[in-house]
Amino acid sequence: MTKHFKETERLKKIVEAFPNLTITVLGDLVADEFVFGEISRVSREAPVLILKHRERAVVPGGAANAANNLADLGVNVLPVGIVGDDEPGRLLLKYFRHKRIPVSGVLKDKTYTTVTKTRILAGMTHTARQQVVRVDREPQQAPNAHLTRELYLAARNYARASDALLVSDYGYGAATPAIVTALREKGKLGSTPIVVDSRYRLLQYSGATAATPNEPEVEEALGLRIGQDWDRAVSAGQEIITRMKLQSLLITRGRDGMIAFDHKHKPVDIPIVGSDQVADVTGAGDTVIAAFSAALAAGATTEEAAQVANYAGGIVVMKRGTATVSREELLHALEQTPPATRTH
């Protein structure tokens, strides 16, 4: 039996165990809105394109996308976050209910604006659509003390009954270092792994189990430039692990693949699966943390979880818009291509 066959079979067993898992997702729920228009002509009022409206789609983004990916991977997911009493919020809740994702942990508040990212895409009838502008609607202020308390209580109650807690912090206040610290210190979560993805304040989540930043987020957190320097990338990862007291760290590097760090083992360089000619990276980080968290919760090592996340990321970037990966797609990809690593 070859080494590659054994590795593939092990990864398949991990993915096949996903339906036995429950994962709580605490984070900033985002509505990703896509407005598609056909190029009609150039405006007489200004040098801009006039688009004839063709269709509109609203799908889960941010933490909601991480939850959606977990659901499509077969995991039982419990989202915790906030939406406003507005159309994007109602559409997110409707989407979750349609997918049979519980919404009792999603707070609805009249004073809150659901985070909405509207992407305007233009194209001709038989051509690829190109994003021409993005419009973001955001809450004016962070959730108040009452909402923060409710988020903590919901996350605590769900996480106690879960195999992992996924924290998706996009900077809007539903997931904060203070809430996660309180969960760790007072939530009685036992050995439940806490996996963090934080856009702007990664180092403040010290004490989490694992983190999945991309390379620019690592560079910003440490105030350095990595580029193509392997030794610098390794040094940066080891500094993150030490400062955050992590057990596992996964740094995503776009077309350069991923580096998996484990506090007990040497870092592993993992090349991307499939083509590097990606179609759309929107939401790919949400797919990666979903697959990585699920694999860790299923008992995978850091390297195994990283390999699973790498396959999931490779599939999702070939899809347009905010997309997900199904368990069947992941198993198929594992059968097609054996896992690989690079030596240094």
Per-residue pLDDT of the chain (344 residues; tens, 9 = 90+): 467 788 899 999 999 999 999 999 999 999 999 999 998 889 999 998 899 999 999 999 999 999 999 999 999 999 999 999 999 999 999 999 999 999 999 999 999 999 999 999 998 777 778 899 999 999 999 999 999 999 999 999 999 999 999 999 999 999 999 999 999 999 889 899 999 999 999 999 999 999 999 999 999 999 999 988 999 999 999 999 999 999 999 999 988 899 999 988 899 999 988 766 665 677 788 999 999 999 999 999 999 999 999 999 988 888 877 788 999 999 999 999 888 899 98
Cβ atoms within 10 A of the Cβ of 108, count?
15
Tell me what pLDDT residue 275 has.
64
To 5 degrees, how large is the angle CA 153–CA 159–CA 163?
A: 180
Edge-to-edge order in the sheet of strand 76-84: 106-109, 76-84, 22-27, 164-169, 194-198, 210-211, 248-252, 258-262, 265-270
What is the reported pLDDT for 242? 97
Q: Which of 166, 170, 190, 191 is nearest to 180 (CA)?
A: 166
Distance CA 50, CA 120 (A): 12
- Respond yes or no: is residue 286 known to be catalytic: yes
pLDDT at 344: 86
**What are the contacts of 35-40 at 24+ separation with CB within 8 A?**
35/118, 35/119, 35/120, 35/121, 36/121, 36/123, 36/129, 37/120, 37/121, 37/122, 38/122, 38/123, 38/124, 38/125, 39/122, 39/123, 39/124
In this structure, which amino acid lies at residue 110? Answer: K
Domain 3-31+60-115+138-336 has CATH 1.10.3470.10: no
How many CB atoms sit inside 10 A of residue 269's CB? 18
The closest of 138, 51, 24 to 88, measured between CA atoms, is: 138
Domain boundaries, the chain: 3-31+60-115+138-336
What pLDDT shows up at residue 321? Answer: 74
> CA 197 from chain center: how many Å?
7
Are 29 and 250 in contact by the 8 Å Cβ rule? The answer is no
| Per-residue pLDDT, 277 | 61
Coil, helix or strand for 223?
coil
- Is 224 strand, coil or helix? coil
Q: Which residues contact 179 (CB under 8 A, 6 or more apart)?
A: 26, 148, 151, 152, 155
Alpha-carbon distances, residue 101 vs 55, 62, 75 (angstroms): 26, 16, 10
Q: Which of 28, 256, 269, 286 is catalytic?
A: 286
d(CA 253, CA 186): 35
pLDDT for res 234: 96
Q: Which of 217, 214, 166 is closest to 194 using CA atoms? A: 166
CA-based R_g, the chain, Å: 20
